[in-house]
Chains A and B, each alone.
Chain A
Amino acid sequence: MKAIISRGFKPIDSPSPENSARRWTLKEKLLLGMTPRQYFGQAVCNPFNWVLGLIFLIGIPLLIYRFAFGLGSVTHSSYDYPWGLLLGFGLFVMVPLSASGFLLGTAVNIFGRHDLHHIERLALLNGLLGYFFAVVFLIADLGQPWRLPYPMFVAFGTGAVLFLVAWHVSTYLSVQIAEVSEGFFEWMGWPQAVKFVKRITVGLTVSAIILSTLHQGALGALFTYAPGKLHPLWYAAEFQWIHFFCSSIAAGLCMVIVVSTIIKKTMAWRCDAGFLDNLDAQTLTLAKGACMALITYFAIKMLAVAHDNEWAYLATGWGLWFLFELAFGILVPLVIMSYGIRHKRAGIARLGAVATVLGIALNRLNCALIAFNWRLYQEVPHWAEVMLCVTIFAFYIVVYRAILYRLPILYSWKAKEAHAPEAVRERIPFGVSVRPSHHQVFRTRD
């Protein structure tokens, strides 16, 4: 891709070619303005695609195998360890890493931190895809996709924590689709739809906060059903949901830093100046937020140990492992990021963000797998389950990249929509008919 860009190619970032009244066709937009041959050529030249190809070569047959022969054929999950890596990683790690959507939405739309808006769409997309793929992981684990909507439509276990997770994740997915759709509508050239989404942004953001607070917490609360199974150092009846919620803030913010770093290194051609120039400053702002969350998280972690008087456990092997998680998952990232913030060095803050993401991921794996059934025995994931996780994660990367290539996430859509009135009323989602009122027309700012 870089090679093509260096030869002067400019990917599509506006509704129509320069100095032309013609509009890009959908096909042109999908190929970023390249010919199919060019597009294929650049894809083949990218070594990362070869890695992805190799993963799919092994992973896709394995996925088919899993659905043909049952979960038992690819997992070491057992009667004792009901949740294996597909859920331990796919659900419990992916969801906190996707908290970015509601966090940046809140910062920008609720607290008016418009200095962060260049990265807001990336954060929203990160959220949407993370959740979407958490559901994909879930389906790969459960193996009965047709039963997944049961808690919504067929049978209602209203008193269960997972009921709340199911409802909130599914509603939140739609909220996130609506939030991300703004960029999609711009890209498609549906200005009325863009306006409609903008109109409901605050509503969407507030519902995103509610839904996220509750289901991020609920994932933690799921473990309060297993007081005797999860090691006391990781278990805290009163604090579990706050632990999960609080750490998801740090995880979500740091995931945006990590993703934006990868983008900066590999996809700078797709970013506009606004994104690239502001990235360092925004990284430091996000890191600040993550530090606050990490400090709070660390404090309530200690509070939980003190509350249940579990100090004695710290001297055991499990205690060392717990201290390792605290040190390398919370304190070290905290120190690195603080140093980066203090000396205004985004690169160092990025390092801390990577450590945070790994640290929170370790916490979730500890809860779901490692410190679970601590009195029984240790489950070691089956190689096939690891491979399935890698495969689905590779799908996640492919979809993520494909959207970043196209939709105005990293760049702004150079729209001249005000001059191109199009009737799109019938295309507006949610079945709501929006009359283009006087009010709206005059409030269009372009």
Chain B
Amino acid sequence: MSGISRRKFLAASMAGSAAATLSLTSGAFGAALLEGYPDGMGVLVDMTRCIGCRSCEAACNKEQQLPAPEMAFDDPAAFDYSYHAGQKRRTTEAAYTVVNRYEIQGEEQPVYRKIQCNHCNEPACLTSCFVNAYTKTKEGAVMFNDKVCVGCRTCMVACPFNIPAYSYSSAFNPVVKKCVFCHETRLKNGLPPACVEICPQEALTFGNRRDLIKIAHQRINDNPGRYVDHLYGEKELGGTSWMYLSSVPFEQLAFDTTLGREPIISNVKGFLGAVPMVLAIWPALFTGFHLLATKNKHGEGHQADHPIQEDDKQ
């Protein structure tokens, strides 16, 4: 994957920039590098199977020891909740996954869309985090370390899926919160995440990401007319560990279909590439300007001892 070597280069150059400016020991810098881990796990969300029971929300709440919801998980009124004129529910500091209902014109049944962290192969949150709080594990999870989170919320700005939430309510330790694929409690022990395990309809299929891609395309092929011929997350932004199959066009379910295939970090590379240039060229350039501009005017004036007082006397 070309993204990897590029990120490696960019991270190295940024570390170099810090080191060059500040004479830091570069050994302290562990740049966060991702591979498209071959054994990375993923989840295939088949929205044609989801019945909107919200068991996954309940299981997530329990597994991640989140605060009690204001409304029971079996209360269908949650689907009618909206904020800011029509915005459906989203992930919050107290809910790492949320299921929303979409009434689609021409469809008898509503379609339910589960949202949670999609665990990108090249996560925007990870690449934007200045304290390296995010880690992409070899199992495919994008982990978050709230011990180092400063709360700058750049990851929330960067996340193209609007997933990370921030504990605005916390006075003394406000940090970012998000789905971590149940990595610590389950994934690393070979267990599927809690939401997958509880799903009665097996709308969530857990497995090796590469196998899931095959399975998804097989489902599309084997069930003509059932699915839109697109696996959302296979290619989007360099690929995500969680991928979606739908019976209706994705944009009708508020999926962003304009994201493209390049990871978010590709948009930042223009600037990151300029950093070492500025660091390398500016010192000599401006010292040169200084010499050119001052040499003849003030004789030895470039010695930094500025004749300000001299001017005062004039």
CB contact list, B286-314 vs A, under 8 A:
286-287, 289-290, 293-294, 297-298, 301-312
State whether A150 touches B171 (Cβ < 8 A). no
State whether A202 touches B157 (Cβ < 8 A). no
Q: Beyond A214-B278, A376-B87, is A155–B148 a contact (Cβ under 8 Å)? A: yes
CB contact list, A157-214 vs B, under 8 A:
157-168, 171, 198-203, 205-207, 209-211, 213-214
Q: Which residues from A are CB-within-8-Å of B171?
A: 67-70, 143
CB contact list, B1-37 vs A, under 8 A:
7, 10-11, 14-15, 17-18, 21-22, 28-32
Q: Beyond A72-B169, A218-B271, is A228–B258 a contact (Cβ under 8 Å)? A: yes
Selected interface stretch from B45-53, B59-67, B127-135, B215-223: B127-135
Q: Which of A171, A198, A203, A225 contacts B21 (CB 8 A)?
A: A171
State whether B152 touches A209 (Cβ < 8 A). no
State whether A241 touches B270 (Cβ < 8 A). yes
Give the distance in Å from the alpha carbon of A41 to the alpha carbon of B210 in the complex: 78
Q: Which of A83, A221, A227 contacts B153 (CB 8 A)?
A: A83
Q: Which of B90, B133, B157, B311 contacts A155 (CB 8 A)?
A: B133
Q: Which residues from A are CB-within-8-Å of B231?
A: none
How many residues does chain B have at the interface if contact means C-beta atoms less than 8 Å apart? 88
State whether B129 touches A167 (Cβ < 8 A). no
State whether A142 touches B15 (Cβ < 8 A). no
A54 at the interface (CB under 8 A from B): no
B165 at the interface (CB under 8 A from A): yes
How many whole Å from A199's CB to the nearest CB in chain B?
A: 6
A53 at the interface (CB under 8 A from B): no
CB contact list, B210-246 vs A, under 8 A:
none
How many whole Å from A121's CB to the nearest CB in chain B?
A: 9
State whether B302 touches A202 (Cβ < 8 A). yes
- 0 or 1 for each of A347-384: is its CB under 8 Å from B? (1 = yes): 00000000000000000000000000000110000000
A222 at the interface (CB under 8 A from B): yes
How many whole Å from B8's CB to the nearest CB in chain A?
A: 9
A285 at the interface (CB under 8 A from B): no
A446 at the interface (CB under 8 A from B): yes
State whether A151 touches B150 (Cβ < 8 A). yes
A240 at the interface (CB under 8 A from B): yes
Give the distance in Å from the alpha carbon of A294 to the alpha carbon of B258 in the complex: 33
Q: Which of A69, A83, A142, A412 contacts B150 (CB 8 A)?
A: A142
Give the distance in Å from the alpha carbon of A143 to the alpha carbon of B174 in the complex: 7
Q: Which of A112, A156, A225, A274 contacts B30 (CB 8 A)?
A: A156
State whether B270 touches A158 (Cβ < 8 A). no
State whether B21 touches A167 (Cβ < 8 A). yes
State whether A160 touches B297 (Cβ < 8 A). no
A229 at the interface (CB under 8 A from B): yes
State whether A241 touches B174 (Cβ < 8 A). no
Q: Which of B93, B173, B271, B301 contacts A241 (CB 8 A)?
A: B271
Q: Which of A147, A160, A412 contacts B127 (CB 8 A)?
A: A160
State whether B290 touches A109 (Cβ < 8 A). yes
Q: Which residues from A are CB-within-8-Å of B30?
A: 156
Give the distance in Å from the alpha carbon of A83 to the alpha carbon of B156 in the complex: 9
How many whole Å from B65's CB to the nearest CB in chain A?
A: 20
B207 at the interface (CB under 8 A from A): no
Q: Which residues from B are CB-within-8-Å of A111?
A: 289-290, 293
Give the distance in Å from the alpha carbon of A221 to the alpha carbon of B131 in the complex: 17
Give the distance in Å from the alpha carbon of A150 to the alpha carbon of B131 in the complex: 7
CB contact list, A102-147 vs B, under 8 A:
106, 108-112, 114, 117, 142-144, 147
How many whole Å from A403's CB to the nearest CB in chain B?
A: 19
> A225's closest neighbor in chain B, by CB?
B158
B78 at the interface (CB under 8 A from A): no
State whether B283 touches A114 (Cβ < 8 A). no
B81 at the interface (CB under 8 A from A): no
B275 at the interface (CB under 8 A from A): yes
State whether B14 touches A221 (Cβ < 8 A). no
How many whole Å from A293's CB to the nearest CB in chain B?
A: 17
Q: Which residues from B are CB-within-8-Å of A446?
A: 309
Q: Which residues from A are CB-within-8-Å of B152?
A: 142, 162
Give the distance in Å from the alpha carbon of A367 to the alpha carbon of B11 in the complex: 26
Q: Which residues from A are CB-within-8-Å of B127?
A: 159-160, 225
How many whole Å from B102's CB to the nearest CB in chain A?
A: 17
Q: Which residues from A are CB-within-8-Å of B29?
A: 156, 158
State whether B311 touches A229 (Cβ < 8 A). no
Q: Which of A77, A213, A218 contacts B168 (CB 8 A)?
A: A77
Q: Which residues from A are CB-within-8-Å of B21?
A: 167-168, 171, 207, 210-211
A79 at the interface (CB under 8 A from B): yes
State whether B150 touches A148 (Cβ < 8 A). yes
State whether B28 touches A156 (Cβ < 8 A). yes
State whether B85 touches A377 (Cβ < 8 A). yes
Q: Beyond A157-B131, A225-B268, A377-B84, is A150–B148 a contact (Cβ under 8 Å)? A: yes
B160 at the interface (CB under 8 A from A): yes
State whether B270 touches A159 (Cβ < 8 A). no
Task: Provide a sorted-by-A list of 27 A–B residue pairs whose CB atoms are within 8 angstroms.
Answer: A67-B171, A69-B171, A72-B168, A109-B290, A111-B293, A114-B307, A143-B151, A147-B151, A150-B131, A151-B130, A151-B150, A154-B131, A156-B29, A158-B31, A159-B10, A161-B271, A164-B14, A164-B18, A199-B305, A201-B304, A225-B124, A225-B264, A226-B158, A227-B264, A237-B268, A238-B270, A377-B85
By Cβ-Cβ distance, the 10 closest A-B pairs, closest first, are A72-B168, A159-B11, A82-B153, A221-B271, A225-B158, A82-B156, A163-B130, A162-B130, A155-B148, A155-B131
Please list the residues of chain A having a beta carbon within 8 angstroms of any beta carbon in chain B.
67-72, 75, 77-80, 82-83, 106, 108-112, 114, 117, 142-144, 147-148, 150-151, 154-168, 171, 198-203, 205-207, 209-211, 213-214, 217-218, 220-229, 237-238, 240-241, 274, 376-377, 412, 443, 445-446
